[in-house]
Every structure is written in structure tokens, then in C-alpha cells.
Amino acid sequence: MQFYAGLDFYRGAYAAVKNRMGNMDLLISLGTLTAFFFSLVITFYPGLFPVDYTYFDASAFIITLILTGNYIENLTKRKANSSASALLSLIPDRVHLLDNGIPRDIMIEKLVPGNIIQVRPGENVPADGIVADGSSEIDESMLTGESEPVLKKAGSNVTSGTMNINGTLSVKVTAAGKNSTVNKIYSLIQMASMGRAKIQKISDIFSSYFVPIVLIAATSSAIFWYFYLRSSGNPLYFIISILVFVSVVVIACPCAIGLAAPITLLISSNESSRNGILIKNSSSMDRLSKIDTVIFDKTGTITDNTPKIINFTTSGDRKLAVSLLYSIESGSNHPVARAIVEYLQGMNPEKLDISQYKEVPGIGVTGEYMGKTLEARRSGEHISLLIDGNELASLNVEHNLRSGIEKDIKNLIRNNIRVLIVTGDTVENTGRIASQLGIEEYYCSIKPEGKAEIVMEQQKKGSYVMFVGDGINDTVAMQTADVGVAMASGSDIATASGDIILLNNDLKNILGSIIIGKYTIRKIKQNIGWAIGYNSALIPVAAGVLVPLLGLGIYYVLPIFAALAMGLSSTTVVLNSMRLGKHMEKGIMASSL
């Protein structure tokens, strides 16, 4: 138990001594090893000291409690290591290599720059390249976060991991494997995760001050009794001075400090989940309490991801127009087409037979109905249904702001938190939404690595940054930010990369999570105070202050007081942590008024 279970503490203590600094591991090692070896001497040489009480139980209890605390702290971290690897699943294992115009399948590993490959509808683009032939709309939402597909034709650049929607493309490969965009994003996520500043544990900060104090108190007390008893002719002067040193060190080691943070974080996480906030990475709590800047992605975060159909009008036979538009759009995989079909389903359309169906990337869909040319044309956010050039129906598409977002942004600003928008969308769309929300600072047409660079720029200015997003394109920025927040409705990779997930997609919980961080850190500091309070009160007793009054008999009852202090400090820490939920709830309600 002592050396197997406590091995990591001793390694950490050795590193601390080597670096000439105090930490929690050094404090634990000092207390438990002193207790253990002193107890060994008592066991094998029972008459050597004027007391016969051993501290084996105290040593084991301290190690067990602190390991339990570490286990609680690590429960929510186990899935974090594999978050970025899911990104690589966007690349297919096999690709269609064009050999003299004839496609044959090869493994992705054999693909090299200069190869011509075929990308069919519904397939992901396996490598970066330039379109050599064909045209199609590409879903680049993984890269830009925007739900609107982008038309690609001869000469256009295409990016690995994006999805081909409706046309067959011949693509000349410019970058494959580790040099492709998807692999670069993967590497950026890994580096950002590894390079994120290691926030020193509060308990280590405390220990860096407390360890020297304990050593000074123990050493000075031992020296005092050594010379005092020697000068007074007591033959046990050396033995008693060692007893004093051991007693001070063992008594000072606060076992409850191992619970001070983990039990608070566990209760905080449970209360947060009850409010729709899943805190995956409890080590981010300290950073969360300091957040002063929140950066939002736009599409899928500030706005809904699903296009909304508005201003639907028809001319002539409305039922026929509804049925024709429903029938021709049903054959398309375009996000707007899917939204139109879903919208029209509530009007009980009839599925009509459309012949000569063809999807024209960037323009819309065409076909024939009863010998007449039928077209559903898309021009930006406007859709028109034409038959032989005559308009039968029209509608517009928009992305709604999330419900209550205006109030949520105002509450953040009211609490002295800067709010920015960083998105891959156009300046027109972003500017309009920023104006609606009263956000003055926004960045447009930004790629994934660009989002991370903006986060780092804010951090260089001294800001603690939270990034809120929902897509694969946001993962690098999430990992780079002090705290990454993902919408539960977002991609699996985004939710795996975030420190926090908003389970109900409610942005009022952004401010709520910051308040939770502040209350949690405050409670941890209180708990550390309680954890050391009882034990510290006994340090003067262990140092021998009461020996002149009670004699050396005080060292017979001191272990009993030490055990009582351990029990009281642990109980107090747990009870104090249980009050956290009520305080958090009041704080969240007050901030959202």
C-alpha cells in the first residue's frame, strides 16, 4: 500500500525537490513516509521512544483518500484522448483512381499528388485537389461551418473531408495523406490539446507555501527540544527531538486536501448537468472562472443549422404548384431542397412523375412534367418554380437566430464579458446578425486554423477566451481556447473536443457555466482552508507547547487528536461542498434577470 499505491506521489515529490519547489506530492510524501518509517522503528524497537503508538493507519488513510479524490477527478476525462482521431474517419479507405479515363479503386495510402481521381455524388473528397472536369456542389460545412453548399467546377479547389452532393467530379490531387487539410486539422487539434497551458492545481499552490512552513516548524521545534533537554540533562533529548519532528510533520499533513477539489468538482458537475451543462473536463474549471471573452461561431451556434422556409407564394393552381415543387425537390440532396420538402409535406402534396430529372450545381434542378420544362431555380436565398419559363411559386430561405439569443448576449455584455463572432460566412450575413445582437466585433470568411489564430491573438492581449461552436471546423479553436464549449446538436468530433457541452443547446448556459466556474473555485479554496485548519491547529501541540504543562504524555493522546482532525476535516469538506448547488442556482438566476 505504502510504496505501490503511493509511487506516483513519490515520483512527483522527487521532481519537486529536483526543481526546488513544493507541491502536493511533496507534502503527501513527506507526511506519509515520515509516519511509515517512524512506525517501523516503533514496531521493531518498541522501547526506543517514550511512546508506542504507530502511524501506519494514518499513512494508509492519507494515500487512500487522495487516490480516491484523483479517481473522482479523472472519471470524466477518459474519452477526451480519442476526440481528434474521429476526424480522420472523413477520409475514405479507398479512392477511384482514373487510369486513362477508366476508374479503378486503390487504397488511399497509394494516392500521390498529380493523380486524377473520381469523386461521385454522396462521397467525401479523399484529398485536396483542383477540379479537372465536371461540376458539383460541395458541402464544406466541416471546413467553414456554413450549411450552404458551394459550387465547384473546372479550376475550383476542393478540400479533403468535404462531401460531394450532386455531380461527378474529376479531381487532380495536390495534397494527400499527412499533407491534406483534414490531416493538418487533426495535427492542429493534437498540438493545441498538448500545448494548452497547464493550470497549476490550487492544492499545489497551497503546498508550495505550506511545505516550507511545516519543515521550518518541525525542524525548529526539534532543534529547540534537542538543546533544551540536553542542557537540562535529560538522556532522551535526541529521541524526543525526533519524536517532535515526526509528530509535527504527520499532524500537518491534511488528508482531506485530497478531497477538497475532487468532491467539489463532482458536485459541481452533477449540478451543472441538471442545468443542461455537461462539464467533461473538470481541470478547465479554474480557467472557466476567469473567462472575460466569449467567441461564438455563427451557423449552428448563434443561428439554427436548418434552413427555414419563408414567404412561400403561388400563382394559379396552388395544389399543383405545391405538388410540382415537392416532386422535383425530392430528388435532391441539397440542404435547401430537404428543407423545402419537409416544409411542403404539411400541405399534403401529391408525388408527381418528373422525367428527364437533372440537378444543375449552383443553379437548381430541372425536369419535364407532361411535356413541359420544369425548373426549381436557386438564386442566393430566393427559390423560384418555373414551368416553361412561367413562375408558379417562389419562396425565401433564412437561418433563424436561436431563441433568446438577444437576451443571452446582453447578459454576457452586462457581466463585463466581451462577445465576438468568428465565422466562415460572408460579411453581409455576419454583419446583419452582429447588428441585430449588438455585437461590434466580428470576423468573416475564416477557416479553421484562422479561428484558432484569432483565439490566440485575444489570449496574447491577456484575455481568458471561451470559444463556442458546433462543427468540425471549430475543433481547433475549441482546443486552443482556454475553455471550449460545444453545442450538443453539433458534430461528434466537436462535442468530443469541447471541455463543456450544452446539453439543451441553450446559450444562456454560457454565462451560467462561467458563474459555475467562479462558485466552484471559491468553494475549493474554502475546502482547502477547512482541510488544513484542523491539522494546523494541532501543529503547536505537536511542537511541544503543552509539554511543560502535561509532560511527554501529550504524545500518547496526540495520535487520537490527529485521527479526530482527519475525520472532522473530511466531513467538513464534504458538507461544505454539498452547499455548492444552492449557491450556484442563486448565482445563475441573479445573472440572468
* Cβ contacts of 153-159, under 8 Å, gap ≥ 24: 153/361, 155/130, 155/131, 156/130, 156/131, 157/128, 157/129, 157/130, 157/131, 158/119, 158/125, 158/128, 158/129, 158/130, 158/131, 159/125, 159/128
**Rounded Cα–Cα distance for residues 364 and 336 (Å):** 10
Q: What is the pLDDT of residue 135?
A: 92
Q: Is 50 exceeded by the pLDDT of residue 196?
A: no
Please calculate the CA angle 16-20-23 and round it to the nearest 5 degrees: 40
Mean predicted lDDT score pLDDT of the chain: 81
Using a pLDDT cut of 70, give the percent of the chain over it: 81
Split at pLDDT 50, 70, 90, the class of 113 is very high
Q: What is the pLDDT of residues 489-525, one digit of tens each?
A: 665 656 667 788 887 778 888 998 898 888 888 888 8
| Exposed/middle/buried for residue 336 (C-beta within 10 Å: 0-12, 13-18, 19+) | buried
Q: What is the pLDDT of residue 114?
A: 93
Run of H or E residues at 229: helix 202-231
Amino acid at 4: Y
| Length, in residues, of the chain | 593
Strand partners, 368: 355, 373
**Lowest mean pLDDT across 377-381, 383-387, 436-440, 481-485:** 377-381
Decide: 250 and 31 in contact? Cβ < 8 Å: yes
Q: What is the pLDDT of residue 145?
A: 57
- Give the CB-side neighbour count of residue 372, counting CA atoms within 13 A: 12
Distances from the Cα of 156 to the Cα of 95, 130, 136, 388, 490, angstroms: 20, 6, 10, 32, 28
Split at pLDDT 50, 70, 90, the class of 392 is very high
Instruction: Tell me whether strands 418-422 and 293-296 are parallel, antiparallel or unpaired.
Output: parallel
**Rounded Cα–Cα distance for residues 57 and 67 (Å):** 15
**Rounded Cα–Cα distance for residues 128 and 501 (Å):** 31
Instruction: Tell me whether strands 483-487 and 465-469 are parallel, antiparallel or unpaired.
Output: parallel
Q: What is the pLDDT of residues 575-585, one digit of tens each?
A: 888 888 776 77
Distances from the Cα of 124 to the Cα of 19, 95, 144, 146, 496, angstroms: 51, 10, 15, 17, 21
**Lowest mean pLDDT across 59-73, 269-283, 443-457:** 59-73
Q: What is the pLDDT of residues 287-299, one digit of tens each?
A: 899 999 999 988 7
Tally helices (H) and strands (E) across the chain: 22, 22
Our answer to whether residue 297 is catalytic in this structure is yes
Q: Is 90 exceeded by the pLDDT of residue 463?
A: yes
Q: Which of 68, 4, 79 is nearest to 36 (CA)?
A: 4
Split at pLDDT 50, 70, 90, the class of 313 is very high
**Rounded Cα–Cα distance for residues 269 and 265 (Å):** 6
Q: What is the pLDDT of residues 64-103, one digit of tens each?
A: 766 775 665 555 444 444 445 666 778 888 999 998 889 9
From 128, 286, 297, 506, active-site residue: 297
**Rounded Cα–Cα distance for residues 76 and 428 (Å):** 41
Q: What is the pLDDT of residue 412?
A: 93
Q: Is 90 exceeded by the pLDDT of residue 38?
A: no
**Rounded Cα–Cα distance for residues 266 and 72 (Å):** 7
Q: Is 90 exceeded by the pLDDT of residue 465?
A: yes
**Rounded Cα–Cα distance for residues 220 and 86 (Å):** 58
Q: Which residues touch 504 (CB under 8 Å, ≥6 apart)?
A: 276, 488
Q: What is the average per-residue pLDDT within 270-294?
A: 82
Q: And the C-alpha cell for 235?
A: 538522556
Q: Is 90 exceeded by the pLDDT of residue 458?
A: yes
Q: What is the pLDDT of residues 132-184, one digit of tens each?
A: 999 999 987 766 556 678 889 888 999 898 899 888 999 999 999 888 888 87
Which domains, and CATH codes, for the chain? 7-78+197-263+516-591 (no CATH), 92-179 (2.70.150.10), 308-398 (3.40.1110.10)
